Amino acid sequence: MKIAIAQINPIIGDFSHNFDRIINFADKAKTLSCDLVVFSELVISGYPPRDLLEKNDFIEANLACLNRLLESIHGIGVICGFVDKNPDKEGKSLYNSAALFEDGNLLYKINKRLLPAYDVYDETRYFEPDLLCESYPYKGRRIGLTICEDIWNDKDIIKKRAYSMDPVALMIQDGADLIVNISASPFYAGKNEFRQNMLGSIAGKHSVPLIYANQAGGNDSLLFDGISTAFDQHGKIAARACDFEEDLVVFDSEADESSESIKNNLHTIADSVEESILKALVMGTRDYVTKCRFSKVVVGLSGGMDSALTAYIAAMALGPENVLAVFMPSQYTSVENYNDSKKLAENIGINLIKIPIDGIFKEFLKHLSPCFKEASPDITEQNIQARIRGTVLMAISNREGRLLLSTGNKSELSVGYCTLYGDMNGGLAVISDVPKTVVYDLARFINKEKEYIPKRIIDKAPSAELKPDQKDQDDLPPYDILDSILYGYIEELKGVNELVEIGYERKLVEEIVRKVDQNEYKRRQAAPGLKVTSKAFGDGRRYPLAHRYKDC
C-alpha cells in the first residue's frame, strides 16, 4: 500500500479553512498515486477545541464538514480525526474519533481509548473512552487504527503506565499488520527523540509498519512540531515530514528499501535543541498572532537580551515590516542600551521609535507625593516606571491595532521578577517558557552565521535599569544556579529537601521556592506563553493561589 501522511496546520473552529487544507493535501496524495492519505487527530475541528466542545453547533459543524469531505474526495482512501457523538445515554456525550472513508463511503470508525488528563491535557472532561480494539481489513492489510495517547502505553517503554490497556497490543492480537496513529502531540524540547524511539520500538517489536501523523502549527500556548513519520516493520524510519510546518510524505510498503530511496523521504528537521526551540517560537508567534486576526505587533526594546530575542523572533515570524519596537528611556537608562537597541533594529530590519518616560514619571511622583509623604523610594517607584512603559505600549497597541508582545523569560516569571500591569502587559508572552540561560543559548545560535543580536547585548550584565547601577544579580542568584533549581522544582517536581541533597544551599533553595509559590497570582494574570519545556506555567501547572502548604 502506498500511504501519504498529510501534516497540516488546522485552525480551531475554522471548518472552511480546515476543509480546504484537507482537500488540497488529498489532491496532492492522489497526484502521487497514493492508495491512502492519513491526517491528524481532530483535524476537522483543530486541536485542542477545549470548551467549544460544549457547544452543539460546533459539534454539528464538525460533522457537516466530515460529510462534505466524504462527498468531495474520490479516488483515494482517507483517515482523519473528528468529534463524534456518543449515542449512549450514559457517559460523556462525545468521542474523540477517527474515520476511514473512500469514494463517499464511511468504511470504518474508531474512538480514542486512552484519554489523557495530565499536564496540558483534559480529555476526560469532554470525551468518553472506548474499549474496542479491533483491526480493520483494507486493501490487503489489516489496519490497527489508534489516536495519539492510544500508542503511549507500551509496557516495555513506559515506566509508569497510566492505563491498564494497551490498544496496540490488542490490535496486533486481532491480526493488525499495519498500525496507524493519528496524533496532536504538543512539542517540548527533547520530546521528539523519545517519541521517535518509542514509535520505532513499537513497530520493530510487533514487526509491522507504523504510520504516525502529527499536527503542525501553534494553537494558543501549544506548539505542534509535526515530524510525521513512517516506520518499516523493522522499526526503522522510512519516511519523515519536516518540523514546524505543513508537509506531505509518502510511505510505500512495497518500495525499495535502499538508503537512497529512504533518504529522499526524510525531510529536514532541526538538528539541535536551540534550533528546534527557535523554530517552535517563530511558528508559535506567527500562528498566535495571525490566528487571532492580527498582522502587526509592537514590542518594547530595552537594550537587554530578552527584548532583543523577542524582537528577532517577531521579525522572523511576521516579517520585519510588521514589527514596531519602542525604546522608552528613563533617567536610569544608559546611552549604550539605546545604541544597542538601534543596532539590533537595523540588523533585523524593524522600525524603532523612542519615547522618553522621565516627564511622565515625574508627574506621577508629583501627584502621588501627598500619599507617599516622606517615605524613602523603594520598589514602588521602580514598578511605576515599568507600568508607565506598559501603558505606553498598550496605547500604541490600541491605536495601531498591533498585538503587544511581552518579553519576560521563564526565570523571571518563576520568581516574580516582573511587574504586573507593566512589563507583563501584552497579548502574547513569547519567551515566558524559556529560562534565562536558554535565552542566551538561543542568541548565540542566532548569531552563528551573522551578528543579528549585537554582541554587547549578549555580553552585558542583565539589568532592569529602574534604579541607579541596578543589576539582576542584586536580587537574584546567578542565572545558571537559579535555572537549575527552578528546573528541579518546576519540571522535575523535586521538593526542598531533595534539592538540598543534590548540593544546593538550603537557605537559597527555600528562598527561591518561596518566591515561586508566592508569585502564582502574577502568573495567573500573565499573557499566554508558548510552551517549549516539559512543564510550563498555565494549563500544564495548576496550583491554588490561596494555600498554606510549605515545601520543606
Which residue type sits at 457? I
Determine contact, residues 432/398, Cβ cutoff 8 Å: no
Q: Is 290 exposed, middle or buried (0-12, 13-18, 19+ CB in 10 A)?
A: middle
Distance, in Å, from the CA atom of 409 to the CA atom of 431, rounded to the nearest integer, reads 5
Query: Is the backbone peptide bond immediately before 48 cis, with ω within 30 degrees of 0?
Result: yes
What is the Cα–Cα distance from 226 to 213, expressed in whole angstroms?
8
Contact 499, 514 (CB under 8 A): no
| CB-count burial class (<10 Å; 0-12, 13-18, 19+) for 217 | buried
Q: What is the DSSP letter of 177?
A: S
| Other C-beta atoms lying within 10 Å of the C-beta of residue 239 | 24
Strand partners for 406: 429
C-alpha span between 219 and 289 (Å, rounded): 10
Query: What pairs with residue 37 in β-bridges?
Result: 4, 78
Distance (Å) of CA 415 to CA 90, 250, 386, 476, 531: 45, 47, 17, 9, 18
- Give me the active site residues, please: 41, 112, 148
Q: What are the C-alpha distances in Å from 95 to residues 48, 110, 184, 301, 446?
A: 14, 9, 15, 47, 44
Number of helices (H), then strands (E), belonging to the chain: the values are 17, 19
Residue 108, SS3?
A: strand
Q: Which of 152, 146, 106 is nearest to 130 (CA)?
A: 146
Backbone angles phi, psi at 183, to 5 degrees: -140, 155
Give dist(CA 292, CA 286) in Å, integer. Answer: 10
User: How far is residue 221's CA from residue 529's CA, in Å, rounded to a whole number?
Assistant: 6
359/363 Cα distance (integer angstroms) = 6
Q: What are phi and psi of 509, to 5 degrees?
A: -60, -45
CA distance 488 to 471: 25
End-to-end Cα, the chain, rounded Å? 58
Cα angle, residue 244 at apex, residues 298 and 206 outer, rounded to 5°: 155
Helix, strand, coil percentages for the chain (3-state, nearest 5): 40, 20, 40
Please say whether the beta carbons of 311 and 301 come within 8 A.
yes
